[in-house]
Amino acid sequence: MQELDPQQQAARTWFESLRTSICAEFEAIEAEAGSNATFDYLAWDRTDPSGEPGGGGVRGVMKGKVFEKVGVNVSTVGGSFEGEFAKTIHGAAEDPGFFATGISLVAHMANPHVPAVHMNTRFLVTTKRWFGGGADLNPPIPVADDTAEFHAVLQAACDAHDPAHYPRFKQWADDYFYIPHRKVHRGVGGIFYDHLEGDWDANFAFTQDVGRAFLDAFPRIVRRRMDQQFTEDDTAQQLEWRGRYAEFNLIYDRGTLFGLKTGGNVDAILMSLPPMATWG
């Protein structure tokens, strides 16, 4: 992989620093619950289809008392897309060369009253340069106050940059995180954006604020719900909705497809799957 330019390095450094902050906060929550769980990290390397080094990343996974399974991954990869897949990527139809760096997070919680969550932000370079990502809440047992708070924090982050961001990106999340064959949404939404290009500094600042907003909102919701009592019926509902989550990620999620099509680490890509789920 070629040496990173200043924009690529700045994005990589931010995503890795955000990973460090999030993991520290999640470990602090485990400690508050009387658990000594910490993240296990595994570095991986990627070989480009050309045979040249293609970057790599670090998979971080923690299994604890509060977080039944949480993965926080960072990766920085580059090379060339193979075959027809290049035509599906913004700016890669005529030139398959690419660079991508980002953070991806999925948390499945032990207590059914604590919502599962997904967050991903990334920077891609083809013949164009753009940011994408977002965050969405996936509660097995939705609580209106939690949903409102999560959206309010994300809206504040959006409004600080462009009042048009939140309604547009909220609708994008509602449309994207939908399971057509079930005719249900995956959760209670959030924001999703892609192909954010043009003013690089402004778009990078916005992407950073999305990460900060997640780190502000989600741990507060976890602490509020993690000691709440739950029943066997609550757990059954949690496992059923985890099945829905798995279906979406394996059938429709573009990030999963991107990772598999570009030769990423399979365990890191599929860390989004829940540790247990049920169907019918």
Q: Residue-wise pLDDT tens for the chain (280 aa)?
A: 789 999 999 999 999 999 999 999 999 999 999 999 999 999 999 998 888 899 999 999 999 999 999 999 999 999 998 888 888 899 888 899 999 999 999 999 999 999 999 999 999 999 999 999 999 999 999 999 999 999 999 999 999 999 999 999 999 999 999 999 999 999 999 999 999 999 999 999 999 999 999 999 999 999 999 999 999 999 999 999 999 999 999 999 988 988 888 878 888 888 889 999 999 7
Supply the residues annotated as catalytic.
118
| 199, part of any domain | yes
Q: What is the pTM of this model?
A: 0.94
What pLDDT does 215 receive? 98
| 125, part of any domain | yes
Are 175 and 248 in contact, with CB atoms under 8 Å apart? no
CATH of the domain at 257: 3.40.1500.10
DSSP H or E segment with residue 225 = helix 200-225
Is residue 123 helix, strand or coil? strand
| 121, part of any domain | yes
Q: In the numeric block, which tokens belong to residue 113?
A: 């009253």
Alpha-carbon span 149 to 218, nearest angstrom: 9
What pLDDT does 49 receive? 83
| 84, part of any domain | yes
Residues in the chain: 280
In terms of residue numbers, what domain contains 198? 6-272
Give the HSE-up count for residue 211: Cα atoms under 13 Å, Cβ half-sphere.
Answer: 27
Alpha-carbon span 60 to 94, nearest angstrom: 35
Closest CA to 77 of 269, 263, 271, 266: 263
Are 138 and 114 in contact, with CB atoms under 8 Å apart? no
| 277, part of any domain | no
Alpha-carbon span 107 to 104, nearest angstrom: 10
What pLDDT does 169 receive? 98
| 279, part of any domain | no
| 93, part of any domain | yes
What pLDDT does 260 receive? 85
What pLDDT does 254 receive? 85
Domain count, the chain: 1
| 166, part of any domain | yes
